[in-house]
Structure 1
Amino acid sequence: MTSAIGIIGSGNIGSALARAFTAAGHPVVIANSRGPASLAALAAELGELATAGTVEQAAQAGDLVVVTIPLGAVTSIPSTLLDGRIVIDTNNYYPARDGHIAELDDESLTTAEYVARHLAGATVVKAFTHIPALHIAEHAQAASTPDRRALMVYSDDAAAAERVSALIDEIGFDAVAGGALAESWRIQRDTPGYGPRFTASELVAKLAQAVRYRDQ
């Protein structure tokens, strides 16, 4: 049986990914800061492939864990809890929500590098950052569908990026390799590729138009 995918965070993106992964046949263990009891209804909706757990149980469910909590809360996760895991980081930086983070304000780090610095024993893959939660179900299409929506993938580890890219394809999207975590600023909030539906070729063109905040 496929090992479970852990999901830390049960907001819009976390819940949407839980639905997509279970629909594709992957068991999930989903957790939030409020505890398993708060997830009983979601787990019941998702069926036998879903388990509501603690953050620690989600972190230990398998070698693939989604971290989809507000960026400002990432440092509340013990830094060693996800050691040895591939971590899918879905975060975007919103200072009004997350508080100001100096390295992100001056763009000396990308959000993915910030997460990777905290979770130094994990392998971070940046994905699912530029798609609204509702579109994870609404825009999913079978492989080889013409004009299929594309999603970016960034990682400093090629094998981890390929693993996540395969999962993205499985749940209904083309995956576009964007390179290292340092390049992931090209799809952060307010960039041309952030938000709307684009095919792979369209998305690559939008990335080329991206400009650093500090250069605007």
Structure 2
Amino acid sequence: MVIDTSDCFPQPGDRIEAAEDGRVESLRAAERLGRPAVKAWNAALAGTSQTRGVPAAPPGRSALPVAADSGEARHVGMRLVDESGFDPYDAGAPADSWRRQPMTPAYCTEPSPRDPEQALAAADRSAAPRHRDRRTSRFATLTSAPTPEEAVEPDRRPHG
């Protein structure tokens, strides 16, 4: 089994046909390696993983979506997300994980346990590349690394 934490984040104007046509990294990795893939942790910044993971069940614990094609792989992914301090949210199959790729409403917004379903449902596949390019262009103008809050802020904006 492969745990895929990656995202497709091309430079502004670049087009990665397989990704934009719905073949997310997890599916390409599973095909190349001949192993089932679980998509997890991609919807959180490194800083989120370092600072927001807490023991099970406290109020305000952040939720992270997990996607897998098999029940066994989903179980493993959800258990690992829980053990790392986040509420796992069953986000369906990896083929649908485009819903939490860069610049969709579920990407790096540190959702609460009740928020992921609404954020995933609001994803707009055709708008995501435009939002991603705008974000990448903005970050390219920075003269220093953004704070974790500055890095998450563009992802929390309405994505319409």
TM-score (norm 1): 0.55
Report how far residue 189 of structure 1 moved: 0.6
Return the match for 2:18 from 84, 87, 103: 103
Q: Distance in 1 between matches of 2:17 and 2:105?
A: 24
Q: Distance in 2 between matches of 1:141 and 1:190?
A: 26
Q: Which has the higher contact order (CA 8 A, sep 6+)?
A: 2
Q: How does 1:131-210 map to 2 (within 5 A)?
A: 131-210=44-123
Q: Which sections of structure 1, spanning at least 5 residues, go unmatched?
A: 1-85
Q: Distance in 2 between matches of 1:89 and 1:100?
A: 21
Q: Which sections of structure 2, spanning at least 5 residues, go unmatched?
A: 131-160
Identity %: 32
Q: What is the Cα-based RMSD across aligned positions, in Å?
A: 2.0
Q: Distance in 1 between matches of 2:126 and 2:30?
A: 21
Q: State which structure, 1 or 2, has the greater radius of gyration over its C-alpha atoms.
A: 1
Report how far residue 126 of structure 1 moved: 0.4
Tell me, yes or no, if structure 1 residue 117 matches structure 2 residue 31. yes
TM-score (norm 2): 0.73
Tell me, yes or no, if structure 1 residue 90 matches structure 2 residue 8. no
For 1:58, the equivalent position in structure 2 comes to: none
Cα offsets for 1:85-125 (capped at 9, x unmatched): x110011112229x7432123x1412222222222x21100
SS at structure 2 position matched to 1:201: coil
1:114 is matched by which residue type in structure 2?
A: R
Aligned residues: 128
2:18 is matched by which residue type in structure 1?
A: E
Quick check: 2:22–2:98 contact (8 Å CA) kept in 1?
no
Seen in structure 2, the aligned counterparts of structure 1 residues 160 and 204 have a Cα distance that, compared at 3 Å, is same
SS at structure 2 position matched to 1:96: coil
1:141 is matched by which residue type in structure 2?
A: V
SS at structure 1 position matched to 2:31: helix
Report how far residue 213 of structure 1 moved: 2.3
Q: Distance in 2 between matches of 1:91 and 1:150?
A: 17
Report how far residue 127 of structure 1 moved: 0.5
Query: Which 4+ residue blocks in structure 1 deviate beyond 3 angstroms?
Result: none
Report how far residue 147 of structure 1 moved: 2.0
Please state which structure has a larger fraction of its residues in strand: 1
1:124 is matched by which residue type in structure 2?
A: A
Report how far residue 162 of structure 1 moved: 0.7
